[in-house]
């Protein structure tokens, strides 16, 4: 895979490459009104990725490998897809194509657009190529994958619904993170569950959301202890909240005929958490669920 850390060449030493860079910089500084068809050489792709690719979304290895294979096999034509540069001089779209070009060492032709406003970067390809994880990653949010997943659960949890058939769009996730989410708290929630997940494969985003909401409601020390007890399998008796939950969870895993789903798993955890918080033993009836059950209060 492309690793910018190994790129040590001095571009200015090669007159041809220096001219290509100068031509590109002129277009960036004086953006034409329409797209420009350019031949992207491995050298210019190298330069752009190293020098102009700041705060872009994560690389998608499957896309990179597919593009590289097509370029290598001469199966790459001029399409309407564009490489985009912002008015701030940085690459806004096309890093996988450029990385593939550098990887295989073959040039390709493409339309290139200049002068894209940086503030529109978050909206590019929304709902198709860029997902909420990409948007948060571009914003510099750590653990963007788990943050975006947890935000969707937190929102539907607070809305009082068990499921959301229509996904939450990228702009809503971005705005919710900026206006509603305690950035430090959600990172603590992610960290708290990371070690638990190595031992018990409970649905990660729901567990992060549970920790977050419980902490928001003043129970962070208790929910942190809940997670530790899950990791250790601790409880006062076999009917205590954590041992009873783990016993049921393991029983489901061992039963090849039991088709558990995420709703059932999180209801198991939520009801166990409530019993844990109230220092109550769990009953068999606590683990009987229906599709109409909502997640309820934390």
For residue 168, the 8-state DSSP code is P
CB 96 within 8 A of CB 64: yes
The pLDDT, as a whole number, for residue 182 is: 92
Could you give the CA distance from residue 81 to residue 255 in angstroms, rounded to a whole number? 49
Among residues 25, 22, 21, 33, the alpha carbon closest in space to that of 115 is found at: 33
For residue 14, the 8-state DSSP code is S
- pLDDT-derived band at 10 (thresholds 50, 70, 90) equals low
Could you give the CA distance from residue 146 to residue 187 in angstroms, rounded to a whole number? 9
Could you give the CA distance from residue 19 to residue 106 in angstroms, rounded to a whole number? 19
- pLDDT-derived band at 7 (thresholds 50, 70, 90) equals very low
Percent of the chain predicted with pLDDT > 70: 86
The pLDDT, as a whole number, for residue 136 is: 81
Question: With 80 as the cut, is the pLDDT of residue 169 above it?
Answer: no
The pLDDT, as a whole number, for residue 285 is: 86
Helices (H), 73-219: 95-104, 132-138, 144-158, 170-180, 183-199, 204-216
Question: With 50 as the cut, is the pLDDT of residue 128 above it?
Answer: no
Which residues touch 34 (CB under 8 Å, ≥6 apart)?
none
Could you give the CA distance from residue 156 to residue 145 in angstroms, rounded to a whole number? 17
The pLDDT, as a whole number, for residue 4 is: 39
Question: With 90 as the cut, is the pLDDT of residue 256 above it?
Answer: no
Question: With 60 as the cut, is the pLDDT of residue 129 above it?
Answer: no
The pLDDT, as a whole number, for residue 114 is: 92
Q: Torsion angle, CA of 83/86/90/94, rounded to 10 degrees?
A: -20
Mean pLDDT (the chain) is 83
Terminal alpha carbon distance of the chain:
43
The pLDDT, as a whole number, for residue 124 is: 52
Please give the C-alpha separations between residue 112 and each of 22, 118, 153, in angstroms, as whole numbers: 16, 16, 38
Could you give the CA distance from residue 199 to residue 248 in angstroms, rounded to a whole number? 15
The pLDDT, as a whole number, for residue 60 is: 74
Question: With 90 as the cut, is the pLDDT of residue 153 above it?
Answer: no
Spans of all domains in the chain: 12-123, 132-287
Question: With 80 as the cut, is the pLDDT of residue 210 above it?
Answer: yes
Which residues touch 59 (CB under 8 Å, ≥6 apart)?
1, 2, 95, 96, 99
Please give the C-alpha separations between residue 75 and each of 78, 96, 103, 109, 254, in angstroms, as whole numbers: 10, 16, 16, 12, 48
pTM: 0.59
């Amino acid at each position: 895979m492309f690793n910018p850390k190994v790129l040590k060449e001095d571009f200015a030493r090669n007159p041809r490459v220096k001219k290509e860079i100068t031509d590109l910089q002129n277009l960036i500084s004086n953006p034409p009104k329409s797209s420009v068809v350019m031949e992207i050489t491995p050298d210019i792709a190298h330069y752009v990725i190293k020098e102009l690719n700041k705060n872009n979304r994560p690389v998608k290895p499957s896309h990179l490998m597919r593009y590289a294979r097509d370029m290598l096999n001469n199966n790459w034509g001029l399409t309407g897809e564009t490489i985009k540069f912002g008015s701030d001089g940085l690459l806004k779209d096309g890093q996988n194509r450029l990385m593939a070009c550098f990887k295989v060492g073959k040039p390709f032709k493409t339309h290139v657009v200049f002068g894209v406003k940086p503030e529109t970067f978050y909206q590019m390809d929304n709902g198709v190529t860029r997902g909420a994880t990409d948007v948060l990653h571009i914003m510099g949010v750590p653990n963007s994958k788990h943050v975006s997943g947890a935000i969707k659960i937190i929102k539907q949890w607070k809305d009082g619904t068990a499921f959301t058939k229509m996904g939450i769009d990228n702009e809503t996730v971005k705005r919710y993170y900026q206006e509603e989410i305690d950035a430090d708290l959600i990172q603590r929630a992610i960290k708290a569950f990371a070690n638990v997940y190595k031992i018990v494969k409970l649905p990660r985003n729901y567990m992060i959301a549970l920790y977050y909401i419980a902490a928001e409601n003043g129970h962070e020390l208790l929910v942190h202890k809940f997670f530790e007890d899950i990791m250790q399998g601790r409880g006062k008796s076999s009917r205590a909240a954590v041992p009873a939950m783990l016993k049921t969870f393991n029983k489901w895993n061992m039963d090849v005929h039991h088709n558990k789903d995420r709703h059932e798993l999180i209801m198991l955890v939520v009801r166990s958490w409530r019993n844990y918080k109230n220092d109550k033993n769990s009953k068999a009836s606590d683990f009987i669920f229906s599709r109409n059950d909502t997640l309820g209060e934390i």
